[in-house]
Chain A
């Protein structure tokens, strides 16, 4: 399966799971809002250009927005993490690039600890911005802080569950492909 087809399928699966499963789970608490769809952006291959990332991020968010009827909210958050992604990867990637020939960010490619940092920073960025936009319309500052913390914790839990349940096969970047 080529990277393109794989990512299109991933995109559909993540959106369907977010819209029809996670958004519809029975109400637990005000601060418990599970988000997973942005893992699609986290998982995008290294080869995608920075401009490409921004465009993909924007449309990922926008399509989710049209389902949840909040046009622009998720789009803005996704554009933020798409913009931040290359910087964080550059910080965390092993310096000697000869060794490094993975195709996309995964616990195996980066190592569990750097991958956790990478995911945590992006999740925090995404949720802080998203909650900030919601907070501008409604809520108190304390609620904002708690919600950022709670949603980040839940997302991290979901992301690591996903990583453990669906370990991705190691794909090497080769000269021939």
Chain B
């Protein structure tokens, strides 16, 4: 009985200095521990963002930066107005050329008939909805360039929508939305990859950026059997879910052969001038969710079939 009491007592004695030591340790290394904690938090934010494009307080922060950027952008606009004007005028020109009044019907045997039935049933046939937006902040110097535009979820913008410049050239993809602003991952982003096709032959490839020069992106995955010349047009592919097909990405500037793979390595001059971008168009593919769902279901079904056969 006596020894057990003694042990109890001594252990309690020991426990008190142990606790004190912890506090002493905490107080002594408080700064170091704070440093480690802040580092871990910052790195966690960074890696989390790079994977999912989500971060703490990002919604609130985007609203704040958006407001500030909008004010600064009002001034910045004056420096790019001439160029922007030309782009819009070019776009109008190309649209005016599509007007029916341009055509004179000499040949009476054939007449241009607009199939009103197909155009009226908008609910099923309308596939892309275009919304206008204004770029309020844009960089081209970093390896990961983002743009901020002044339209957000309140205006119907959602993640993964395509962004085209005012003359219809590919600019980027929406990655994050707040109520009044959204962040666009520019084509000039090392993580970006856009499905593209060679307009003449329809061969598919992938657009990537190597962070070297904001005037050029690279196109990979086009086999050397395809006939490609410099100056050929590269457009968005018909098989992407977010970009409308046949919109200009750029033109081939330099052709290099990759001897290891049997593919071309193509340097593409971007059609959009990223340093002076002002007005953009955000394109929504209405059928995107359905297409994605279908792709997912198909995958699941094939997986089931495989399991059945075994």
Contact = CB atoms under 8 A, between A and B. Distances in A.
A27 B214 contact: yes
A54 interface: yes
Interface stretch (B30-38, B194-202, B290-298): B30-38
Contact of A76 (B42, B65, B72, B143): B42
Interface residues of B, number: 42
Interface in A37-90: 50-51, 54-55, 58, 61-62, 66-73, 75-76, 79-80, 83
Contact of B144 (A26, A62, A70, A83): A70
A88 to B, nearest CB: 15
Contacts of A166: none
A138 B55 contact: no
A26 B274 CA distance: 10
B124 to A, nearest CB: 37
B211 A51 contact: no
Interface in B28-64: 30-32, 34-35, 38-39, 41-47, 49-50, 55-56, 58, 61-62, 64
A70 B46 contact: yes
B142 A23 contact: yes
B66 to A, nearest CB: 10
A164 interface: no
A83 B211 contact: no
Nearest to B64: A66
B240 interface: no
Given A30-B213, A58-B38, A70 B49 contact: yes
Contacts of B30: 51
A27 B140 contact: yes
- Chain A contact-residue range equals 20 to 34
A76 B46 contact: yes
A137 interface: yes
Contacts of B69: 67
Contacts of B138: 24
Contact of A75 (B35, B42, B65): B42
B143 A138 contact: yes
Contacts of B43: 72, 76, 133
A58 B141 CA distance: 23
Contacts of A75: 38, 42, 45
B264 interface: no
Interface string A135-152: 001110000000000000
A25 interface: yes
Contacts of A134: 143-144
B31 A83 contact: yes
A104 to B, nearest CB: 20
A27 B42 contact: no
B141 A73 contact: no
A77 to B, nearest CB: 9
A72 B45 contact: yes
B253 interface: no
B64 A25 contact: no
Interface in B48-99: 49-50, 55-56, 58, 61-62, 64-65, 69, 72
Contacts of B241: none
B150 to A, nearest CB: 15
Nearest to A83: B35
A72 B55 CA distance: 9
A69 B56 CA distance: 12
B63 to A, nearest CB: 10
Contact of A133 (B46, B56, B146, B212): B46
Interface string B173-213: 00000000001000000110000000000000000000111
A33 B191 contact: no
B275 A26 contact: yes
A115 B164 CA distance: 49
17 contacts: A23-B141, A26-B275, A27-B213, A30-B211, A33-B141, A50-B31, A54-B34, A66-B62, A67-B137, A68-B139, A69-B146, A72-B41, A72-B42, A72-B47, A76-B42, A79-B42, A137-B190
Given A75-B38, A79-B42, 6 more contacts: A24-B139, A32-B141, A33-B141, A54-B35, A58-B42, A72-B49
Shortest Cβ-Cβ A-B pairs, 4 listed: A72-B46, A72-B45, A71-B55, A76-B42
